[in-house]
Amino acid sequence: MGASLRFGKHPAKKDYRTLRLGTYLTPGLAAPPPAFDVLASRVYEKLGTIDPRVLFPMDGNDNLSDCTTAAVAHAITVFNGMIGKRNIMDPNDVTKLYLHLTNGLDCGLHALDVLNYWQSSAVAGDEILAYVSVDWRNHTHVEQAIKLFGGLYLGFQVQQGCEDEFRNHQTWVPGPLTPHGHAVFAVAYDENDVTVLTWGTTQKGSWDWWDDCVDEAYAVLPPEAMNIDYAGFEIDHLKADLEAVAN
């Protein structure tokens, strides 16, 4: 059977106040390249390793349904790695955050609740500037978000065979959907697949799998976003909307 693997994302939660990526994209935004890998292009060399198992631990997701906070930990490592900083959350801190948010219960979480917490409270020293929802059905927006911001925090409804495919190093493909949900962090794409971080390593999923299973996706803007010129992304407009939502 191999190591235990756990899920834990609740069904996608809707909030009318959630900002949307498409609102802030301009006609001047360049088309995404046909393939992009943030780990290979922006992280591995700066952190001196090409082994995802070193940078992205299991974070308790073999014993607890804490995938939503494990995905946060993986995002933090990516964001810091892009600027040459090594910041790998202690797995104990990942599980402590999870149990703090669940009031001590191993009951899973809504991705949106985790992101709202992260936007208001620093995690591993990082308090994000904002997050925006991405229309996961729009592959161009998905690719643009991964290229612009270094990844996507996403949730999906788990298909039958998900764990076996992972253990056998097979690409996730569509299958009958189960009642379970899972949260991961996407870091690469090409014409055939999307690559995500989960269960201590990388995992590919076909675009057909993506279309069948993904039910929410968010671009996360780290604090460094304030000092980066995102050509084609209206960050001043976003800041104004953040203030309006807060008020």
| 198-245 tens-digit pLDDT | 999 999 999 999 999 999 999 998 876 655 667 778 888 988 888 887
First to last CA, the chain: 51
| 31-61 tens-digit pLDDT | 999 999 999 999 999 999 999 999 999 999 9
pLDDT band at 247 (very low <50, low <70, confident <90, very high): low
Report the pLDDT averaged over residues 11-34. 91
Q: Which residues contact 36 (CB under 8 A, 6 or more apart)?
A: 143, 146, 147, 188, 189, 190
Q: Which residues contact 14 (CB under 8 A, 6 or more apart)?
A: none
> Is 31-225 assigned to CATH 3.90.70.10?
yes
CA distance 177 to 131: 27
pTM value?
Answer: 0.95
Nearest by Cα to 155 from 176, 124, 134? 134
Within 13 A of 64's CA, how many CA atoms are on the CB side?
Answer: 23
CA distance 189 to 206: 9
CA distance 170 to 176: 17
Dig out the tokens for 5 from the structure. Answer: 């693997």
Report the pLDDT averaged over residues 162-175. 98
| 171-189 tens-digit pLDDT | 999 999 999 999 999 999 9
Report the share of the chain in percent with pLDDT over 70.
96
pLDDT band at 164 (very low <50, low <70, confident <90, very high): very high
Residue 1 pLDDT more than 50? no
Beta strand extents in 103-162 (DSSP E only): 130-133, 152-159
| 53-98 tens-digit pLDDT | 999 999 999 999 999 999 999 999 999 999 999 999 999 999 999 9
Sign of the torsion formed by the C-alpha atoms of 203, 144, 222 and 97: negative
Q: Where are the domains of the chain?
A: 31-225
